[in-house]
Structure 1
Amino acid sequence: MMERRKVDILCVQETRWKGSKARSIGAGFKLFYYGVDSKRNGVGLVLKEEFVRNVLEVKRVSDRVMSLKLEIEGVMLNVVSGYAPQVGCELEEKERFWSELDEVMESIPTGERVVIGADFNGHVGEGNTGDEEVMGKFGVKERNLEGQMVVDFAKRMDMTVVNTYFQKREEHRVTYKSGGRRTQVVLPDDWETTAEVIRETGRKVLGVSSGRRKEDKETWWWNEEVQDSIQRKRLAKKKWDMDRTVGSGTGQDNRQEYKELQRRVKREVSKAKQKAYEELYTRLDTREGEKDLYRLARQRD
């Protein structure tokens, strides 16, 4: 996308990469990132490698805020990547984010240029009455609390919300599209209301099932012995069922055979599971072991 759009510097959020590093990601681009948890948050900046030598300073403040200072043709440029807490997060977490962002801004000398590329998780709203100095008229929906925080920050730092100054096409205002349906997600402050919005959207987009879903079974640990035992148990069950239907005199023998095979299958399953998990544990630090874990997680999901 950066190649196609001719983007030299890109701010990214929710990278979910743990660590404080810089790495080449191919096609002549390098990623600077910071994260403390591989399951949530994380921020980063992607640069064309020709600009890497222009980097003077990297500030990794938290897994929600980081910045780069570059010198380009004698101009000092500060690029900040930010990821604000979502609507449902605690107020304390939101205030901590804005405090960190304030600190980064205050550390930048007057006269240096600053660009913030962030996911602020807020809506500044359509129209700009009373806020003409910091935003245009082309915001999205009604302003929420998080959007007000963005506007207040822009006024405090003498900045502008750039993407409100031009009209966006409809496809750039839509966050989900499938089968002719279009959804623009606007999360309210109350979690119960949010949950109901999600459920109602699910009903409209996906429909409602009968609820009689057959429980999936894990099969990643199956081996030939388990499969063979299960097949023989099924055949024995069919024979017993047939005997009960036609009233054959051999029904008791077939029932006994089925019960014995049923017990054998349980033993084979237990042995196969134990062996598979033991092998998995010994391979956890290898690439193959990682693939096994992902496969197991997908089946459980």
Structure 2
Amino acid sequence: MASRGSVVARDNKDRIAALGTRSYNEKFVTESQRGKMKLKITVGIRNVRSLWQAGIYAMLKKELERFRYDVVGLCEVRWTGSGELEKGKRLWSGTETEHIHGVGMILGEKARRALIEYNPVNDRLMYARFKEYPRDIIVIIAYAPTTNHLDDEVETFYEQLEQTLKTLPKKDVKIIVRDWNAKIGSENIGFGEVMGKYGVGDRNDRGERLLEFVKDRRLYITNIKWQNNNKCT
């Protein structure tokens, strides 16, 4: 176990150095647990529009009691710093001093047991890796700049996301849950293989950029919503 852990730690440090991020946290699943971890992970996303005022996080936790979930991604949490609280139930990544932007995760018990590591990349990106068999699952939380931001800021965000994806193990399953602040629209000509035929409305420039990114990375866009059976998908 010690030997295996040291290899994981070294690999992770190389990835973090490549990203230029602040810190990361490792957790290790034992060899005896490895074959038993068959995690059918349930993932969702929510823009909370700030959790730093007193009492707001307690209200969110109360609301989530109505649902079954493993990982709930959070955008615009506006907490400073980064880390974990509640024995790993709450993970977050924000700016050092300002109550702006920020991403986070709330983990259910099953996801907490399967957590291998997490990395607070910056105030718009973070990821967590979970033990699964035969391939581990990586959940990435992404919060893109809004339409009020300059195009250069949007490009910087996509470059950081691209760099993050490049440093992750290729064999792992990757799920990006996000607030893209973009409209992909209903027209799917040229992008049918990445968005299907169920888009809504008209596409804007940010939606065009998102579709190009998804197509280049051979990803697929799905709709995420709270289902009537109280399951977050």
Aligned residues of 1:81 and 1:117 also touching (Cα < 8 A): yes
Alignment check: 8 A CA contact 2:70 2:110 kept: no
How far apart are 1:3 and its partner, in Å?
A: 3.7
- Structure 2 length as normaliser, TM-score? 0.65
Match in the other structure for 1:154: 214
Q: Secondary structure at the match of 1:163?
A: coil
In 2, Cα distance between the equivalents of 1:34 and 1:104? 15
Gaps in structure 1 of 5+ consecutive residues: 169-301
**2:152 partner SS:** helix
Larger Cα Rg: Structure 1 or Structure 2?
1
TM-score using structure 1 length: 0.51
Match of 1:13 in 2: 75
8 Å contact from structure 1 (residues 127, 136) kept in 2? no
Q: Identity, % of aligned pairs?
A: 30
1:98 paired with 2:158, answer yes
Q: Which aligned runs of 4 or more in structure 1 are off by greater than 6 angstroms? A: none
Q: Within the alignment, does 1:55 sit opposite 2:128 as a pair? A: no
The amino acid of 2:149's aligned partner reads C
Amino acid at match of 2:82: S
CA contact (8 A) 2:83 2:120 kept: no
Any conservation in 2 of the 1:86–1:121 contact (CA below 8 Å)? yes
Q: Which protein, 1 or 2, shows the higher relative CO under an 8 Å CA cutoff with sep ≥ 6?
A: 2
**1:124·1:147 contact (CA, 8 Å) conserved in 2?**
yes
Residues of 2 paired with 1:74 and 1:32: CA distance?
Answer: 25
Q: Distance in 1 between matches of 2:119 and 2:169?
A: 15
Size of the alignment, in residue pairs?
A: 164
CA contact (8 A) 1:43 1:81 kept: yes
* 5+ long unaligned stretches in structure 2: 1-62, 228-233
Are residues 1:108 and 2:174 paired? no
The match for 1:76 is 136
Q: Note the C-alpha offset of 1:130.
A: 1.9
Deviations 1:142-198 (A, max 9, x none): 11111111111111111111119x9x9xxxxxxxxxxxxxxxxxxxxxxxxxxxxxx
CA 1:4–1:72: 2 relative to 1, 3 Å: farther
CA RMSD, 1 decimal = 2.3
Partners of 2:94 and 2:147 lie apart in 1 by 21
* SS class of match (1:33): strand
Provide the residue aligned with 1:34 in structure 2: 93
Q: Give the structure with the higher percent helix.
A: 1
Deviation string 1:94-121 (CA, Å, 9 cap, x unpaired) is 1111011101111122221000110000
DSSP 3-state at the match of 1:45: strand
Show the counterpart of 1:135.
195
